[in-house]
Every structure is written in C-alpha cells, then in structure tokens.
Amino acid sequence: GEKKCPSGPAKVFLLEKPLQETSKKARELADYIQEIENDEKYHDFHFFAVDHYAAKWTLSQLPALNTVP
C-alpha cells in the first residue's frame, strides 16, 4: 500500500549505521531498513541510516532532545 504522510510533526528514526566493509553488509543494512519501513506498525515513521557524526549533528539541532555530549 501507499505510505501516508503523517500529519503534524514528522516521526523520524535515525539508525546509526555500522562501518560497512563490504557491499554485502551495506545490502543487509538496506534490506533491514526496508523491512522496517514496510511494517504497518511504523507507517508514520521515516527511517534514515546515518553515520555517527550526522546523528550527533541532527540531535544537536533538536533542543528538546539534545542529550548528546
């Protein structure tokens, strides 16, 4: 089914991606994220795989959630 856009604030999951030494590991991560996105429980959420520094920067931009040292 088609994903509905959430009304109100976006619900976002940032997944800190592990170091991917091989294309197989990168594919496994992509498949995992796609599996989660297709789960009905999470249809309101957006998933992003980011590196450690991108995750820290993003959290630093959200004052209410700024718990990153």
Q: How many domains does the chain have?
A: 1
Q: How far is CA 63 from CA 22, 56, 66, 67, in A?
A: 36, 12, 5, 9
**Is residue 56 included in any domain, yes or no?**
yes
Residues 54 and 9: their CA atoms lie apart, in Å, by 20
Task: Give the pLDDT confidence score for residue 2 in this predicted structure.
Answer: 53
Task: Give the pLDDT confidence score for residue 64 in this predicted structure.
Answer: 64
**Is residue 19 included in any domain, yes or no?**
yes
Residue percentage of the chain with pLDDT more than 90: 0
Q: What is the pTM of this model?
A: 0.47
The mean of the pLDDT values for the chain is 75
Provide the domain limits for residue 56. 11-65
Could you tell me the pLDDT band of residue 21, with boundaries at 50, 70 and 90? confident
